[in-house]
A and B are shown apart, each in its own frame.
Chain A
């Protein structure tokens, strides 16, 4: 009977731990995606030497950049999926 109680709480601990790990993995994935966007969009949007503030033109570019990069990824994914399903070259 005591053993039964112990198994229950071990299972609860294991589930809680799994949940915590999943949350940390999500946070890490989010961070990695932010770094990727920053790398890509810094090159596209930051012209010349960085100035003393982030002007609105650059900021607009950054917003567009993230959206367009996602559109680009989706467009390529769809096209490549079609090519693979058609049986490539």
Chain B
């Protein structure tokens, strides 16, 4: 009976460890996916013709782009939430 309890305890520990590892990998994948979305969007907005280096004007544009894209998403989320809560769309 002791032997069986011991096995269950270590299996639980392994299962928790595995769950944690999976959660960490999922977070990393989500982060990467978000970076790719920003890169796609902001490349189109900020890069005219690629030159031999990333000039500071472009870099500033990229920084603003990410922040404004997040602001935009939040604005739309809030507005749409408002619309849905008021009872559907016309």
- CB of B19 to closest CB in A, whole Å: 22
- Is there a chain A Cβ closer than 8 Å to B15's Cβ? no
Q: Interface stretch among A3-11, A12-20, A23-31, A76-84?
A: A76-84
Q: How far is the CA of A81 from the CA of B86 in the complex (A)?
A: 36
A35 at the binding interface (Cβ < 8 Å): no
Known contacts A64-B52, A84-B31, A89-B74: does B47 contact A76 (CB below 8 Å)? no
Determine the residue in chain A with the shortest Cβ distance to B36: A73
In Å, the complex CA distance between A86 and B67 comes to 13
Complex CA gap A67/B28 in Å reads: 24
Shortest Cβ distance from A46 into chain B, in angstroms?
Answer: 12
What is the number of residues of chain A that contact chain B, defined by CB distance less than 8 Å?
Answer: 21
Q: Are A72 and B35 in contact (CB under 8 A)?
A: no
Main secondary structure of the interface of B (DSSP, over half): helix
Restricting to B50-70, which residues have a CB under 8 Å from any CB of A?
50-54, 58-59, 62-63, 66-67, 70
Residues of A within 8 A of B74 (CB): 89
Pick the residue among A61, A77, A89 that contacts B49 (CB under 8 A): A61
Contact residues of B with A, CB < 8 Å? 31, 34-35, 38-39, 42-43, 46-47, 49-54, 58-59, 62-63, 66-67, 70, 74
